[in-house]
Amino acid sequence: MSNKIILECKNLTLTRGNNYLLINANISINQGEIIWLMGSSGSGKTSFAECLSGKLYCDGQINFNWDSSLEFANQVSYVSQFSQFKDKQGQSDFYYQQRFNSYDADMTITVREELDYLFNNCNVIDNLQLLISLFKFENKLSSSLLHLSSGERKKLQLIKTLANPSQLIILDNPLTGLDKLSMANLEEYITKLSIAGITFIIIDRINYVFANCSAVVLINGQKLFKLPVGSYLSKYSDNDDIRSSIDNLNFKLLPLEKTYQNIVEFKDVLVKYSDKVILSGVNWQIKAGQKWLLEGENGAGKSTVISLINGDNPQAYANDIWLFDRKRGSGETIWDIKSKIGYISPELQWNFARNLTCLEVVLSGYFDTPGLYSKATLEQINYAKQVLESVNLSEFANTDYISVANGVQRSILLVRALIKNPPLLIFDEPCQGMSESQSQFFVEMIDKLFNGTNHTIIYITHRTDEMPKCLTNRLTISNGAVIRNEEINEI
pLDDT digits (tens, 9 = 90+) for 113-142: 999 988 876 778 889 999 999 999 998 998
> What is the Cα–Cα distance from 402 to 389, expressed in whole angstroms?
20
Supply the pLDDT for residue 93: 47
> What is the Cα–Cα distance from 193 to 122, expressed in whole angstroms?
18
Residues of the chain with pLDDT under 50: 88-97, 103
Instruction: Give the pLDDT confidence of 161-218 residue by residue, as tens digits.
Output: 999 999 999 999 999 888 889 999 999 999 999 999 999 999 998 888 999 999 999 9
If phi > 0 it is left, if psi is from -120 to 50 it is alpha, else beta; for residue 301 that is: left
Can you give the residue ranges of every domain in the chain? 5-237, 244-487
Angle at which helix 125-134 crosses helix 180-195, to 10 degrees, equals: 150
> What is the Cα–Cα distance from 230 to 251, expressed in whole angstroms?
36
Three-class secondary structure of residue 481 per DSSP: strand
Taken as a whole, the chain contains a residue count of: 491
CATH of domain 5-237: 3.40.50.300
Supply the pLDDT for residue 402: 85
Please state which architecture CATH assigns to domain 244-487: 3-Layer(aba) Sandwich (3.40)
Q: How far, CA to CA in Å, does 306 sit from each of 175, 295, 302, 446?
A: 22, 12, 6, 20
Handedness of CA 94, 98, 99, 105 (dihedral sign): negative
Identical fold between 5-237 and 244-487: yes
Supply the pLDDT for residue 370: 78
Distance spanning both ends of the chain, measured CA to CA: 39
> What is the Cα–Cα distance from 306 to 479, expressed in whole angstroms?
15
Q: What are phi and psi for residue 467, nearest 5 degrees?
A: -95, 120
Cα–Cα–Cα angle for 180, 185, 190, nearest 5°? 125
Three-class secondary structure of residue 393 per DSSP: coil
The pTM of this model reads 0.83
**Burial of residue 280, with CB atoms counted within 10 A of its CB: 0-12 exposed, 13-18 middle, 19 or more buried:** middle
Contact between 137 and 155 under an 8 Å Cβ cutoff? The reply is yes
Amino acid occupying residue 464: T
- Cα 109 to chain centroid distance, Å, stands at 23
Going by C-beta distance under 8 Å and a sequence separation of 6 or more, which residues neighbour residue 297? 136, 179, 181, 478
Going by C-beta distance under 8 Å and a sequence separation of 6 or more, which residues neighbour residue 433? 81, 173, 176, 349, 406, 407, 409, 410
Contact between 204 and 36 under an 8 Å Cβ cutoff? The reply is yes
CA dihedral 360, 362, 366, 367 (to 10 degrees): 60
Give 195's DSSP letter.
H
